[in-house]
Structure 1
């Protein structure tokens, strides 16, 4: 027996009765696939076996051939089935079980689609942010500009100092440059003269006969 799929986003395909003795046993394929969610579709086969005292006893319900469902999804479906069995024990419940499972499959498919769209949007925003940073660079503020300026000035001063020292090492200094570089040379001439004055010895005997010289006559002749 096969029923026409419903117009809902989750389709129900009734396949076959597997047997009727000793108890009815059949399987149903449920799928969430529709035109809008083809890539996110999930499906499974719901295998149902009645028991002797059904509905006072729970039927045996198994999930088989899951598609795009992981272990967590399957456990979620099994927990949902067990919850519905406990809530409907004593009443015909197979149709209820089918309904809640197909609704859950629809929710899972929509959740999968939502996660994929969120991930796609996240990647898009990340790419846009990286592209914006590539063109914007670092935004200039007063604080980071002053920090950069101080560092730049130090680097320039160091470069100038290194260049000056290199220039000095590559040429012979003039007396003026040596004088300007070494402040101790300001007093060198004075010290030299003082040391010379202190150490000069005068031979007084050289001047003993100077009274006999006619210096005035010589000076006059020179002036003439």
Structure 2
């Protein structure tokens, strides 16, 4: 087959899939990068009836260390190279162009990894700053904090005032209670009205009251000293 002469350098990576139409895969690997990175793409080619006057069909069969954007770049490169080489056997040219592109991508892989590492380090530093510095104060969050603080202070003052008022009521004297609670003014009358005829009086306490010799006109008269004369 004519493909053998063209792809001798890649024969160990070549796998034939069919003879009619001719279809095969070839694995293209980049040179190793500084840290032994490689990029790899396995390309599938299928000859069309009018090849090489028309380009072969192709697709990326598999890939390694390549992103979707890298794959799109390779497909675009294949299209450009095929158009430039119409009428000539072009598989070797296409494969060589892809390998050169993979070599470039290895360097891009290294750069991407370094950029990713730097990004992660920056994010870690920012997170550490936030941990030690706290939230940056601006007008909006300061006013929000001030409103919450004033509300909390007002609630504390109201509770303290309520507690003090409650404690003050518990410490009032009988006179203070009488002065502040006007319901006590009529409590005795109300009690008597409610008791009615149920109030019992011991009449024997008053039987001898008329026999007492009470001189109420005497300026030295003192009911409390009534018993002292008997002594």
1:68-93 deviation digits (Å, cap 9, x = unpaired): 34677556534431332123212453
1:84 aligns with 2:84: no
Shift, 1:141, TM fit:
5.7
User: 1:14 aligns to what?
Assistant: 10
User: 2:29 aligns to what?
Assistant: 31
In the TM superposition, 1:154-165 aligns within 5 A as 154-165=154-165
Is the contact between residue 15 and residue 29 of structure 1 (CA under 8 Å) also seen in structure 2? no
2: distance between equivalents of 1:115 and 1:179? 88
Count of residue correspondences: 172
1: distance between equivalents of 2:111 and 2:166? 68
**Gap change, CA 1:126 and 1:176, over 3 Å in 2:** farther
Helix, strand or coil at the partner of 2:63: strand
Shift, 1:135, TM fit:
1.9
Which ranges of structure 1 fall in alignment gaps of 5 or more residues?
2-12, 189-217, 220-224
Shift, 1:110, TM fit:
4.1
Shift, 1:157, TM fit:
1.1
2: distance between equivalents of 1:111 and 1:36? 12
Helix, strand or coil at the partner of 1:122: helix
Which ranges of structure 2 fall in alignment gaps of 5 or more residues?
186-217, 220-231
In the TM superposition, 1:8-157 aligns within 5 A as 14-16=10-12, 29-39=27-37, 41-46=38-43, 55-59=52-56, 63-64=60-61, 66-69=63-66, 73-74=70-71, 76-140=73-137, 143-144=142-143, 146-147=146-147, 149-157=149-157
